[in-house]
Structure 1
Amino acid sequence: MTAAPGRRSSTFTRLLRHGFTDPSAAERLLESAELTPVRTDPVLLDALGATADPDLALHGLVRLLEAQPDPTARRELLDTLIAAKPLRDRLLGVLGASAALADHLARHPGDWRALVTYEPHDLHPGVAEFERGLAGADDPVSLRVAYRRCLLSIAARDVCGTTDVAQTAAELADLATATLRAALRLAEAAAPEDAARCRLAVIAMGKCGGHELNYVSDVDVIFVGESAEDGAGADESEALRAATRLASHLMRICSETTVEGSIWPVDANLRPEGRNGPLVRTLSSHLAYYQRWAKTWEFQALLKARPVAGDPELGEEYLAAVGPLVWQAAERENFVADVQKMRRRVVENIPAAEVDRQLKLGPGGLRDVEFAVQLLQLVHGRADASLRSGTTLDALEALAAGGYVGRADAARLDEAYRFLRSMEHRIQLFRLRRTHLVPEDEADLRRVGRSLGLRTDPVAGLVREWRRHATAVRRLHEKLFYRPLLDAVAQLAPGEARLSPEAARERLVALGYADPAAALRHLEALASGVSRKAAIQRTLLPVLLGWFADSADPDAGLLNFRKVSDALGKTPWYLRLLRDEGAAAENLARVLSAGRLAPDLLLRAPEAVALLGDGDGGGLAPRGRAPLEQEILAAVGRADDAAQAVRAARGVRRRELFRTAAADIIGSYGTETHSAEADPGALVDRVGGAISDLTAATLAGTLRAVVRDTWGDTLPTRFAIIGMGRFGGHELGYGSDADVIFVHEPREGAGEREAADAANRVVAEMRRLLQLPSSDPPLLIDADLRPEGRSGPLVRTLKSYEAYYRRWSLVWESHALLRAEFVAGDEDLGRRFIELIDPLRYPADGLGDDAVREIRRLKARMESERLPRGADPRLHTKLGPGGLSDVEWTVQLMQLRHGAAEPGLRTTRTREALAAARAAGLVGEEDAAILDEAWVLATRVRNAVMLVRGRAGDTFPPDGRELAAVGRYLGYGPGHAGDMLDAYRRTTRRARAVVEELFYGAAER
């Protein structure tokens, strides 16, 4: 129990002053006679107070003293502690930082003598010194004891600051090398006949290969085996079996847990084919795999390969053979994208609760530094051998020296990496457990903070420094790769090493730029000079270049950005928006590099960039029919004539099309990374609804302009526009025509001919004005779904429609009317027209077999006549099997047959009708889901083709880059266009099977 403040002993006060958090417990420990020297000697108390955790250090010291075999040994330990400062600092430093090593000393009380030596060669021991330290180990248990004894000396130098973090990591890798050699000797001694049959080389990978190992880490290796005999008498298969047995035994020796614990797991999963591949391969087998099958990440892993044990000649042969392949990796298609995708996948697989505590894998963590450095090494190492180091910090230094990375950025990254690695080391050292998570317990944070020299408020100081360095890494991760490209063209820092033009082109090619020379010209135009505009661009471009590179067409993204910047560069809000609004710059980069349609719309009205800067995404939300119509009608009202009015309406339409396209691109781009916006069905519904509302508002404005120009406020006849097809179904795409029919009804006092002439003049003028040559996207009115098709009059009165439908209506017309909906003009007339056609499209008696057969015949005829010659039907989104037509006609047949009895089917929207059919039991849940998925996918492909190519299309584009851009829109990464096509065929094939049952089997049910 802690003494009352007024009665505290002098020992208690001294302990409190020396940093003990539980001075009462410490005082009780010091009460024994044996610990009098510790209690009374200020040198020892000072040394305890200097440790990371004085309470832990004292407890460990007491256990060590108690473990000594006799009083003489205890006295020797205390006397040596008092007399020898090196031992005092080392031993107490270890005891205050590592409970696990304190446990080892308690089990092996004589091992403290390993810390007495303080000779120059002891500062940085290498493999040879560690091999001597392990030499006496003749079984797995004694090897573990010897390993921990060597680890004790490394930790002692580390916590005392005798070595820095890079030297400590190198010593740990050298100790691992010595341990692998010792384990292999034990395995060979246990099976000398196997050792005689084969040559076995152990290749270190990962951190061990890179001389930057953690205290506790898997040791990644690859095994190479050959026969010990040359020539025809050699039995390669038997030699490989023998080598496999040796390799497996080596792994068990290091990995298995005994009374002395384990050393570390030996992980061979970086070998060709991973866990599914043989543990040991010949050199020729390794080469065959890497030349034919290896993925980009495997070459990245080989960057750190280093022979460490076994047959040294075979190890060097392996390194010489695979080395050239490593430095050709950057020439692979989608190289940078593959590396970055792998990094994203690592981050995505971190449990959400751990992301903010991850030192290694999280954003701003150690892996960000390592990936960025390795990427630059692989891009430039082919031409510059000075970059071919497996050690991250050495490679970073070489990159800076060669001008591949700015020196200031490299120094900042070096500082951050050293701090994060030191923090990781101290966290692992406590329990000698493999972890990369920052602890949450305050005592753990305090110990780590003090061990790193943060003595004033160590908890807050540690968290602050950690966040500062992680933030720097996040910022520099992108900048590191792209900033030197700007320095290469801006030439603002005389004397600073910078990328050569050739190195800059190399880097741009690796990033996916097809025309690096043009890209460099764009960068120079954007970033050169001392103006405020150029300075802001130099801040923005490193990140923007990364986003462009992540697209299917980086060249187009950069070119479009230059065009937008040229158009808006003198506008004060433009660069400020990109700099200050977090989402605006990324949104702009995504939009500019996703295809032709959105950039074309934006470049016609660059001020629409402002829509991308709304922090909560509201700027990209669809506006809805009512506000759109209100804005367009107001613009029409201000215009001098109909032509000017329609130009104004088309201008609003252009801006709103951009809003919709931008939202679609940004939302779709997130499907690969699980964006909240990434529900494909919701994206399709939003696009279809937004474009349909916009088209309706544009037609309403155009109608108002035409009527006002000729007749003033009142037309001699009531006039209504009925949307048909995708327009009436709220399913328009970016390239869709507006299918409509027109209906009118003479006003009182107006003659039939006058009314008909007025109605026809309205239609003709609307079509003319909307088709006038313009830089705005065209809006084509298609009235071919009217009675009698192209042969019939463009406009009919309501009575004429009634008479026609009563006497002449055909099945196809009832079918077409399923998606009829009032969209503009006289609301009352539109309502009465819908009331007129409802009995036709939802017949009370359903459909007879003859009508069903007619619908099937019409569908077959449509597909045979309209499918383009030479097109692959399986990839035709509209007419192909399982495509839009298949799904829509199947749903519409159910509407025709059951709409009268099932109110939910009385909708113009395909997905709503399908959901109603499922709810009514007309289609099974699984079949409905299959049809819905196919319809959504086919619609998204059509939208993607328009976004990418700038013109409508019903099939996937043949051009490789355009196909890749469609793939990115659909969530497929670089190099996976084939997967996209396979998935499309698979989805539509399943849908076709459902259509065969529901549509073609309908008459039988």
Structure 2
Amino acid sequence: MTAPGRRSSTFTRLLRHGFTDPSTAARLLESPELAGVSTDPVLLDALGATADPDLALLSLVRLVEAQPEDDRRALIDTLIAAKPLRDRLLGVLGASEALGDHLARHPRDWHALVRYEHADLHPGIEEFESGLAEADDPVSLRVAYRRCLLSIAARDVCGTTDVAQTAAELADLATATLRAALAIASAAAPEDAAACRLAVIAMGKCGGHELNYVSDVDVIFVAAPPEGAASADETKSLQAAGRLAAHLMRICSDTNIEGTIWPVDANLRPEGRNGPLVRTLSSHLAYYQRWAKTWEFQALLKARPVAGDSELGEEYVATIAPLVWQAAERENFVPDVQRMRRRVVDNIPAAELDRELKLGPGGLRDVEFAVQMLQLVHGRSDPSLRSGSTLEALQALAAGGYVGRADATRLDEAYRFLRAMEHHIQLYRLRRTHLVPDDEADLRRLGRSLGLRTDPVASLNQAWRKHAAVVRRLHEKLFYRPLLDAVAQLAPGEIRLSPDAARERLVALGYMDPAAALRHLEALASGVSRKAAIQRTLLPVLLGWFADSADPDAGLLGFRKVSDALGKTPWYLRLLRDEGAAAENLARVLSAGRLAPDLLLRAPEAVALLGDPKGLLPRDRAHLEQEILAAVGRADDAEQAVAAARGVRRRELFRTAAADLIGSYGTEGPAPDGEAHPAQEPPGHVGSEEPADPGDLVDLVGGAVSDLTAATLAGTLRAVVRAGWGDELPTRFAIIGMGRFGGHELGYGSDADVLFVHEPREGVDEQEAAKAANAVVAEMSRLLQIPSGDPPLLIDTDLRPEGRNGPLVRTLKSYAAYYRRWAQVWESHALLRAEPVAGDADLGRRFVDLIDPLRYPVEGLGDDAVREIRRLKARMEAERLPRGADPTLHAKLGRGGLSDVEWTVQLFQLQHAWAEPGLRTTRTREALAAACAARLIPGEEAEILDEAWVLATRVRNAVMLVRGRAGDTFPSHTRELAAVGRYLGYEPGTVGEMIDDYRRVTRRARAVVEDRFYE
């Protein structure tokens, strides 16, 4: 009887070695079977190194007990003396209860683990065939199969092979087993074997050399009459082949005293379960040419002849392969594959979803589907991608530039870890399962089998979730990539652009200078560099997107310039290839006119905005002002400060222009899993296939450009004050936005109408204050007028009291005195849009308080004032419309244009804002909506005015985007006019329809103006 102290010491030692049941372990170590070695530290250390020391010890005792009397000692002695055998045998026993049971039934099979020569490390099909050679019936085949499986598992658990090598060995063993099973079936029916040629084609994981320990082995059977037989014998040959194939399946799939090997599944054959088990090659070909679905070609990607007539098998693969690599050209190929993946996830029981290692989100199928999709799309023109192995294909995709190296590395690591988990889960009981166990003992064994010895359960869960998250993120990134669908829709000849094919395609797409375009293509895509490889993937698709614009040549030229500027930047091409609709967005921006490309070429790093799902969201005024003021604070002088502010303005103008253009075109490409993207995204951004609402785009541009102008003026003011006076100006100073600026309605080419107001600080002489304020205005004007390549920011002060004859800046008291004594109706009218935009916020608020009684007069306007406003409007129409301009097409001053709508709305404000708070706004559309709500104008008429105002505003924006300079009427140049039409949503060749629509919309608006303004 063991003393208590000694037993406690033994238990502690066993616990330290990883045993969870030290009482049972101590009893087993003292059993007669282990007599003389139970206290050997070598054995205890080896047991402690296994996945489950308790299971390893129990299985070892059972194995020794099952040995013939003469062999027991030999096994023990060999086990202690030979470390390789000890590690292999105990490793298997600690990882697989099923293989422990096999050794207990076949106690001499442990000799299969004795050899440890180099040639034994990675056996191939021939070695496995040799191991199965003596099997001549289903029972002996199962025993021999498990014996071979022992050596694979031993190399796996000892780390001699990695997970990919293990999967390949399992596939080779399956190949050898299918051959042995076919030999047994042929021996049982030699007349059938003589009557046909039968080829067994492995599919799925077996075909891809990546089989699991326990998995269905997917096959397709192909048959033909024997060499020299008459064609009339085909039916007999098919019948004989069918009997052989069915027998082969039973040999592998049926359960007998030795259990089963694995199910042979032929359901991937044409017509599935409803189709004949065996077909001729011509029958297979006819089916795939006429009836096959997309998923069937995806499955054929891994087809590999493994048994039977090798010549027939190779002929089958050679015949079918071209169809596989044409599958991506099928209509809706990419969406079909995406839907199929979603259906797989949807069919997982809810209770198993979080534990599903293979099919669930972030599981093995996510990697496999993404890789197979990329293979099928790009493998048409790149034979290096045509591997049946997931990891080999992933490596080839990375080498070819179709997947980023870092993404490929992360996917490779995650896939290997998840496959190792799957292998070791199945190895325990040799059962087909992909569910992560929920029992803590199972999780502990699994974690230890993967080398996680410190808190194995927690470490396993952490590693599993981390890798699953990586897989899910990269699956969505690659699998739902908009570029993928676009590449899939190209004809095969378009993917690799030979000079002749490229020239023909360029002419067909509408490129006016195909020779220049070919030079750009050559510069971008020639060579063997990774950069050139990625460009070759991008360019065929980009060419089509450029062609969907009015000026494809300009788009391609712009792309070359941006690529030359950023081509050596690691993230640039990766962004276009991987991130959402970045490539399409860039194509839209580069081919839509001059303004956005000019901005981008001056700040090419702004391309990054096109790949961020929120990158085109306009930034609010507070954030813009904060960034600009920080940049100003870092500058050495005022000119550098304003240059820094201009840099921010340039980037933000590009952001706004890009959002506007992309929203106008609409972009394609569904969000991952078909879900809509967040509602806070800008109109028409990634995931929106339809163009955005025009009114939304007008509001987006007007608000963004106005906020940006305000922030730029704030930065310029800070730079001037800091350079001339340090921290504080001797007078409070505020800038008041007027006109479109105050109304948050600036366009890309609008001047900034402003008033300047100041108020001397306490103790400061008024003349000194006035001198400082005027110096600030003069210096701001000078700095903002310094020539640059950016769109100009011009300050217009003509709306100040007394117009051009009045002082540029006044005190608040001076404004009050002037407005009290001299204010005219036009000034009250102009003040409707006055809003503080920069400088002293309190002074700005007090200015608003001062002018509110003027712009919202109590009891409204008198008849004389109304007549004066109408007279001023008529005079403006007569005098300010440019000579020769078509009044039906001038967006600002023409019939039903901006001026018509704005003056009508502003008349409502002057007459009724004192009683209707909703009219007290500087924004035209908001005021029009308030007038409608107050029943000052019928809803139908309000909609007519709103439509005309939005359209006229968009025309002005379009002209600036297309020409790079402001304009109030449609361009006369054919290509520029077409570009304006494309921005407004008109297809090529329909500019006449665009002009007609504009005249119709504005004519209706003018009719409302006649009724409401001139009534």
- Specify the TM-score bucket, using the shorter chain as the normaliser: 0.5 to 0.7
Relative to structure 1, the CA distance from residue 275 to residue 34 in structure 2 (aligned partners, 3 Å threshold; closer, same or farther) is closer
Deviations 1:390-412 (A, max 9, x none): 11222222333333333333333
User: Out of 291, 310, 313, which is 2:311 matched to?
Assistant: 313
Hey, what does 1:353 align to over in structure 2?
Answer: 351
CA distance in 2, matches of 1:101, 1:223: 31
User: Out of 252, 259, 263, which is 1:261 matched to?
Assistant: 259
Deviations 1:29-58 (A, max 9, x none): 222233233421111111101101111101
Which residues in structure 2 correspond to 1:427-438 (within 5 Å)? 427-438=425-436
Hey, what does 1:615 align to over in structure 2?
Answer: none
Q: Could you say what secondary structure the match of 2:292 adopts?
A: coil
Relative to structure 1, the CA distance from residue 300 to residue 90 in structure 2 (aligned partners, 3 Å threshold; closer, same or farther) is same
CA distance in 1, matches of 2:682, 2:431: 45
Which residues in structure 2 correspond to 1:724-803 (within 5 Å)? 769-770=945-946, 772-775=948-951
Q: Could you say what secondary structure the match of 2:154 adopts?
A: helix
CA distance in 2, matches of 1:441, 1:34: 31
Which residues in structure 2 correspond to 1:21-100 (within 5 Å)? 21-68=20-67, 70-100=68-98
Hey, what does 1:335 align to over in structure 2?
Answer: 333
Aligned-partner residue type, residue 331 of structure 2: E
User: Out of 614, 620, 627, which is 1:578 matched to?
Assistant: 614
CA distance in 2, matches of 1:608, 1:531: 34
Relative to structure 1, the CA distance from residue 215 to residue 337 in structure 2 (aligned partners, 3 Å threshold; closer, same or farther) is same
Aligned-partner residue type, residue 545 of structure 1: G
Relative to structure 1, the CA distance from residue 108 to residue 327 in structure 2 (aligned partners, 3 Å threshold; closer, same or farther) is same
Q: Could you say what secondary structure the match of 2:451 adopts?
A: coil
Which residues in structure 2 correspond to 1:207-286 (within 5 Å)? 207-228=205-226, 230=228, 232=230, 234-286=232-284
Shift of 1:447: 1.2
CA distance in 2, matches of 1:476, 1:221: 31
Shift of 1:149: 0.9
CA distance in 1, matches of 2:908, 2:473: 58
Hey, what does 1:501 align to over in structure 2?
Answer: 535
Which residues in structure 2 correspond to 1:906-925 (within 5 Å)? none
Structural RMSD (CA): 5.3
Relative to structure 1, the CA distance from residue 287 to residue 41 in structure 2 (aligned partners, 3 Å threshold; closer, same or farther) is same
Which residues in structure 2 correspond to 1:935-954 (within 5 Å)? none
CA distance in 1, matches of 2:195, 2:533: 51
Hey, what does 2:474 align to over in structure 1?
Answer: 476
CA distance in 1, matches of 2:6, 2:420: 41
Shift of 1:642: 9.7
Q: Could you say what secondary structure the match of 2:38 adopts?
A: helix
CA distance in 2, matches of 1:457, 1:161: 21
- Partners of 1:454 and 1:462 within 8 A in 2: yes
CA distance in 1, matches of 2:422, 2:577: 29
Q: Could you say what secondary structure the match of 1:308 adopts?
A: strand
CA distance in 1, matches of 2:443, 2:590: 45
Hey, what does 2:725 align to over in structure 1?
Answer: none
Aligned-partner residue type, residue 19 of structure 1: G
CA distance in 1, matches of 2:297, 2:410: 28
Hey, what does 2:322 align to over in structure 1?
Answer: 324
User: Out of 151, 155, 158, which is 1:157 matched to?
Assistant: 155
Which residues in structure 2 correspond to 1:638-653 (within 5 Å)? none
Report the TM-score when normalising by structure 2. Answer: 0.57
Q: Could you say what secondary structure the match of 1:323 adopts?
A: helix
CA distance in 2, matches of 1:339, 1:511: 24
- Partners of 2:198 and 2:223 within 8 A in 1: yes
- Partners of 1:544 and 1:586 within 8 A in 2: no
Which residues in structure 2 correspond to 1:540-939 (within 5 Å)? 544-545=579-580, 578=614, 584=678, 591-592=685-686, 594-598=688-692, 600-606=694-700, 709-710=910-911, 769-770=945-946, 772-775=948-951
Deviations 1:732-760 (A, max 9, x none): xxxxxx9xx9999xxxxxxxxxxxxxx9x
Relative to structure 1, the CA distance from residue 546 to residue 176 in structure 2 (aligned partners, 3 Å threshold; closer, same or farther) is farther
User: Out of 177, 191, 205, which is 1:193 matched to?
Assistant: 191
Hey, what does 1:12 align to over in structure 2?
Answer: 11
CA distance in 2, matches of 1:519, 1:102: 68
CA distance in 1, matches of 2:609, 2:458: 39
CA distance in 1, matches of 2:912, 2:128: 100
Deviations 1:875-911 (A, max 9, x none): xxxxxxxxxxxxxxxxxxxxxxxxxxxxxxxxxxxxx
- Partners of 1:369 and 1:473 within 8 A in 2: yes
Shift of 1:11: 2.4
Q: Could you say what secondary structure the match of 2:221 adopts?
A: strand
Deviations 1:625-674 (A, max 9, x none): xxxxxxxxx999xx9999999999xxxxxxxxxxxxxxxxxxxxxxxxxx
CA distance in 1, matches of 2:15, 2:364: 36
Shift of 1:10: 3.2
Asked if residue 136 in structure 1 is aligned to residue 170 in structure 2, the reply is no
Aligned-partner residue type, residue 386 of structure 2: R
Shift of 1:235: 2.2
Hey, what does 1:465 align to over in structure 2?
Answer: 463
Hey, what does 1:973 align to over in structure 2?
Answer: none
Question: What 5-or-longer segments of structure 1 have no aligned partner?
Answer: 611-633, 649-700, 716-737, 745-758, 779-947, 953-958, 960-1005
Relative to structure 1, the CA distance from residue 180 to residue 521 in structure 2 (aligned partners, 3 Å threshold; closer, same or farther) is farther
CA distance in 1, matches of 2:345, 2:255: 31
Shift of 1:332: 2.7
- Partners of 1:111 and 1:149 within 8 A in 2: yes
Relative to structure 1, the CA distance from residue 289 to residue 484 in structure 2 (aligned partners, 3 Å threshold; closer, same or farther) is closer
Aligned-partner residue type, residue 66 of structure 1: E
CA distance in 2, matches of 1:517, 1:324: 35
Relative to structure 1, the CA distance from residue 642 to residue 438 in structure 2 (aligned partners, 3 Å threshold; closer, same or farther) is farther
Relative to structure 1, the CA distance from residue 259 to residue 763 in structure 2 (aligned partners, 3 Å threshold; closer, same or farther) is closer
CA distance in 2, matches of 1:517, 1:538: 21
Range with bigger deviation, 464-473 or 153-162: 464-473
Q: Could you say what secondary structure the match of 2:219 adopts?
A: strand
Q: Could you say what secondary structure the match of 2:223 adopts?
A: strand
CA distance in 2, matches of 1:38, 1:765: 101
Relative to structure 1, the CA distance from residue 193 to residue 777 in structure 2 (aligned partners, 3 Å threshold; closer, same or farther) is farther
Shift of 1:298: 1.7
Shift of 1:714: 7.7
Kindly name which structure, 1 or 2, has the bigger radius of gyration based on alpha carbons.
2
- Partners of 2:538 and 2:577 within 8 A in 1: no
- Partners of 1:60 and 1:102 within 8 A in 2: yes
Hey, what does 1:103 align to over in structure 2?
Answer: 101
Q: How many residues align?
A: 673
- Partners of 1:544 and 1:585 within 8 A in 2: no
Shift of 1:353: 2.9
Hey, what does 1:375 align to over in structure 2?
Answer: 373
Relative to structure 1, the CA distance from residue 604 to residue 593 in structure 2 (aligned partners, 3 Å threshold; closer, same or farther) is farther
Range with bigger deviation, 98-107 or 433-442: 433-442
- Partners of 2:139 and 2:256 within 8 A in 1: yes
